[in-house]
Amino acid sequence: MDVEEFGRRHAAAGIPDDEIVKLLRDEILEVKQGRVPAAYAEAFARAVLTEVKNSSGLTGDLFEFQPSGSSMGEFGVGSRGSGDFFAHRQLARIIGSTSAAVGVDEMDDAGAVSAGGTYIITTVDGMHSRLSDFPFLAGFHVTRATLRDVYVMGARPIALLSDIHVADDGDVAKIFDYTAGVSAVGEAMGVPLVTGSTLRIGGDMVLGNRMTGCVGAVGVTDHLTARKAIRPGDVLLMTEGAGGGTIATAAIYSGFPEVVEQTINLHFLKAAEALIASDILPAIHAMTDVTNGGLRGDAYEMAETAGCRIVVVEDDLRTLVEPRVLEMLDALEIDYLGVSLDALLVVAPREAAAEIIRIVESAGVRMKEVGYVEEGAPESVLSVGGEITDFTPRFRESAYTPVKKVVDEDKRDFEEMKAGVERAAAAASEKKQRILERLRAEYGS
């Protein structure tokens, strides 16, 4: 519960101060469940209202932003679909052109900068929000995800960093269990956890025990396998996948907890490590992990970045999904092509395919050819029994929990929302320029 939002909303509605304090006091007592006296709750509520009033009505660049008119949930931000991809394109617009070897505008798995002939790779992944009550799983899966993003850039991970936030009423043990999950993956792969941060969500202003956090990674390489290197004539090779945080979440909240066990593996990391250690790496054009909206989302992003037409052939795809995971997805009517499978997708010239598959399978991981790249408009399509069908991402990734199935039905007009989001991004970009001009005038650059 966000007590600051509670205060702002009720104050904006014109509710008298004493009534707001009483309402907020009662909410605080309910959340705290007898752990604080009523006098404390009332004093806290009154202090919250004081801070709300002091911080309301402020004007100017440093205090205001241009609203988009759409909430994060309405626009699907974080839901790995067309809304999320559009929002990320706006972030790239605000950041603008940089000196990075692989920048945010390329929508790749990680960024890269050149340093003395070597590429330094950096990336960060947020833990799955629904794993808040399962800290070890949250730490394990987010660490595996961030290491994947380094490996698919053709790099060897050399360090991890962790950031963990727990709300005011969360048990301190959550940060320990989360860190154990992070460290388990790091130690298994020989990548040290070297730094991090631990905070409360919203400080004193957010009650409850919700947890969120992220894990970042740094890697180095001499050969980038970024999406922009994809060429017509390449083939797509994919490993088996059992999913990670998304599949674990689907299993827990849909009544299939036994499936979570299948997600605890290092298949992807071991396969990628084998490729990076081999002589075949320079032949690989690009790699990615099948996560963002499933293969639908990743194929779309790859086609957009590379400027090519990507054809995904479904013939062998289902055989690459771990059987117990696939059985659950089918039972829940979840589209396996639109959900994160955490499989490794490699794009390379056809002549290199056999050796890539051999190396991956020598690491104990199955891999098959699942598509090809050809000249044409930047798009991704699906071939089913030789017939080409649409393969564009949906507004959100496949709804994989009961709550998401309900949320997925609630949609506003996307084009109307996009216009507002673009206006907000443009306003943020203009503000950035105004502040930059002020700083340059003062300090020079």
Residue 268 confidence (pLDDT): 95
Q: What is the pLDDT of residue 117?
A: 83
Could you tell me the domains of the chain?
3-54 (no CATH), 106-224 (3.30.1330.10), 226-401 (3.90.650.10)
pLDDT at residue 410, as a whole number: 63
Q: 7 to each of 27, 37, 47, 49, 202, how far by Cα in Å?
A: 11, 20, 10, 6, 14
What are the pLDDT tens digits along the chain (445 aa)?
A: 899 999 999 999 999 999 999 999 999 999 998 899 999 999 999 999 999 999 999 999 999 999 999 998 888 887 777 788 888 889 888 988 888 888 887 777 788 999 988 999 999 999 999 999 999 999 999 999 999 999 999 999 999 999 999 999 999 999 999 999 999 999 999 999 999 999 999 999 999 999 999 999 999 999 888 888 899 999 999 999 999 999 999 999 999 999 999 999 999 999 999 999 999 999 999 999 998 778 988 898 889 889 999 999 998 899 999 999 999 999 999 999 989 999 999 999 999 999 999 999 999 999 999 999 999 999 999 999 889 998 887 767 677 788 877 777 667 888 899 999 999 999 999 999 999 999 999 997 6
CB 359 within 8 A of CB 280: yes
- Residue 321 CA from chain centroid, whole number: 21
What's the pLDDT score for residue 211? 96
CB-CB neighbours of 61 under 10 Å = 12
Compute CA distances 136 → 33, 97, 128, 182, 356, whole Å.
Answer: 26, 38, 12, 8, 33
**pLDDT, position 420:** 94
Residues 6 or more apart whose Cβ sits within 8 Å of residue 65: 424, 427, 428, 431
What gap in Å lies between CA 15 and CA 226, rounded to an integer?
A: 55
Kindly tell me the number of DSSP H helices and DSSP E strands found in the chain.
14, 12
pLDDT of residue 197: 95
Q: Is the pTM of this model over 0.75?
A: yes
